[in-house]
Amino acid sequence: MPSTEERPRLGGESGEVVVVGGSAAGLYTAATVASGGRKVRVLESRPDFEPASRSLIVTDQFRTQLGTAASESIVNEIRRFELFTDGRSAQVVLARPDLIIERSRLIPALARSAQRAGAKLSFATRFLGLAPNGRGLRVEVDSAGQREELHADSVVGADGASSRVARSAGWPPVETVPLVQAIVRLPKDHPPDTTRVWFVPDDTPYFYWLIPESSERGALGIIGEEGRDTKKCLSRFLEKRQMEPLEWQGARIPVYRGWVPVRRRIGNGEVYLVGDAAAQVKVSTVGGIVTGLRGALGVGQSILRGGRNKELTALRRELATHWLIRRALHHFQQKDYSQLVDLLNVSTRESLGAINRDESTRLLWNVVCRQPRLVLLGLRGLLMGRSLKD
Ligand SMILES: Cc1cc2nc3c(=O)[nH]c(=O)nc-3n(C[C@H](O)[C@H](O)[C@H](O)COP(=O)(O)OP(=O)(O)OC[C@H]3O[C@@H](n4cnc5c(N)ncnc54)[C@H](O)[C@@H]3O)c2cc1C
């Protein structure tokens, strides 16, 4: 990237949109808004747009969303899921393969798209706070150790789960859960096009996964509820399977528990949230890339056109369905998971393979039409959750 882009003079111009956070959601928002002709500046606290490597699994909707930038980051394709619980297993063959993408390729590709659209990117620039300033918003930043102020009409918080923009503008904090994963050598019996998922309710209300990033390596991970316990469970799981962690990765992931309104008016300015900052994460599987990009597109369009936005309405519906699925599964005991795997008959597995989890309402409808007993199991899960809270 040109060095002039790395250390631009701050200051801010009239009508400028400042995006805080130069990761997936922020850079996609910047590209969308800049393509519509608005001045956009992205502030990123890291020293460059080349983050540490991390493999992520996404549905093929990602390809539709990003086109060329998507192709540059794909490192593997997943054609099959194998689900395990208590000695039982089921297999789901995907009609449209899931994609394994490499974040260290995705972020630079998105940064280039945002720059091509006209956005200016500022590295080593940390957002500190914002306040109304009559014309719009005064944004305070630390730019390579120097305090500076700039002006913006709109600020977009794309600064992740513990968003400082959200806090500065008065949004309540989003709840988070720990995600821990170890990079491991892929076991000899593990095909590189297959993701394995284990339901072990004694360890976690979520699940374990092993996602191959190549024919040699994969990411074995768990989402838990308490950080230290989650790491201990993963260590035990690895030990039982005699797998050596080559590298550890982890962070806190937002838990979607209801729509976070994405826009607030502060004085004469507007503040928006996108991606993890707005908990735009599928809480059934805790995947946030595709949904965060949808949030970014919706907010980008709202900034350009105003009014109600169809993308955000559809995203809200999507996230609500995942929240319903999570509530149904969250208090499942071993016998419920065993029953769930037993109930996945051929036609149910066909639906799971044909419709991806980013079209969850259609998926849920198709699955329950083909196996109505799943509705009873789901309802029991919902009631169990309620009775445990009472
Ligand atoms: C280990 C791990 C595995 C995951 N696996 C998957 C997966 O397989 N599939 C999937 O879909 N999702 C996965 N996720 C979730 C996914 O990575 C996130 O949902 C997604 O990256 C969120 O993107 P974002 O742009 O909203 O926020 P982030 O990626 O968190 O980016 C926030 C950006 O804001 C910057 N920033 C923060 N504060 C400031 C500040 N004050 N000033 C300036 N900049 C700031 C940060 O440096 C960062 O670049 C995983 C997450 C983790 C941690």
Residue type, 78: I
Q: Is the dihedral of CA 205, 210, 213, 217 positive or negative?
A: positive
**Which is the closest atom of ligand 1 to the Cα of 251?**
53
Q: What is the mean pLDDT of each run of 10 residues along the chain (390 residues)?
A: 39 78 97 96 89 90 89 93 89 90 94 96 96 92 93 97 97 94 95 95 93 94 88 95 93 94 96 98 90 97 91 94 87 85 71 70 68 65 57
Q: At what angle do helices 373-389 and 360-370 cross, to 10 degrees?
A: 120
**What pairing do the DSSP bridges indicate for beta strands 40-43 and 120-122?**
parallel
Q: How far is the CA of 161 from the centre of ligand 1 (A)?
A: 8
Pocket residues: Cβ below 6 A from ligand 1: 20-26, 43-46, 54, 56-58, 126-127, 158-160, 164, 179, 181, 249-251, 253, 275-276, 281, 287-289, 292
What is the predicted pLDDT for the residue at 347?
Answer: 63
- As a whole number of angstroms, the distance between CA 137 and CA 134 comes to 7
Tell me the pTM: 0.91
According to CATH, the topology of domain 176-254 is D-Amino Acid Oxidase; Chain A, domain 2 (3.30.9)
User: 346: which 2 tokens?
Assistant: 């051929």
Give the distance between the most distant pair of CA atoms in the chain: 65
| Per-residue confidence (pLDDT) for residue 359, from 0 to 100 | 78
Tell me the HSE value of 24 on the side-chain side, using a 13 A CA sphere: 30
Top mutation candidate among 98, 139, 159 for ligand 1, by most atoms within 8 Å of CB: 159
Closest CA to 326 of 366, 382, 276: 382
Angle CA(93)–CA(94)–CA(98) in degrees, nearest 5?
135
Could you tell me where the beta strands, DSSP code E, fall in the chain?
Answer: 17-20, 40-43, 55-58, 74-85, 88-102, 120-122, 125-132, 137-143, 146-152, 154-157, 176-185, 194-198, 208-212, 217-223, 247-254, 263-266, 269-273
Could you report the per-residue pLDDT of 239-255, keeping only the tens digit for each? 999 999 999 999 999 99
Written out in words, the top-level CATH class of the domain with range 3-51+104-174+256-310 is alpha beta
Task: State how far the alpha carbon of 75 is from the alpha carbons of 23, 109, 182, 192, 260, in Å.
Answer: 19, 14, 18, 11, 33
**What residue spans define the domains of the chain?**
3-51+104-174+256-310, 176-254, 323-389
Task: Please give the pLDDT value at position 92.
Answer: 85
Query: 196, 190 in Cβ contact below 8 A?
Result: yes
DSSP track, 236-284: HHHHHTT---SEEEEEEEE---S----EEEETTEEEEE-GGGGT-SBTT
Specify the DSSP element, H or E, that contains 105. Answer: helix 103-116
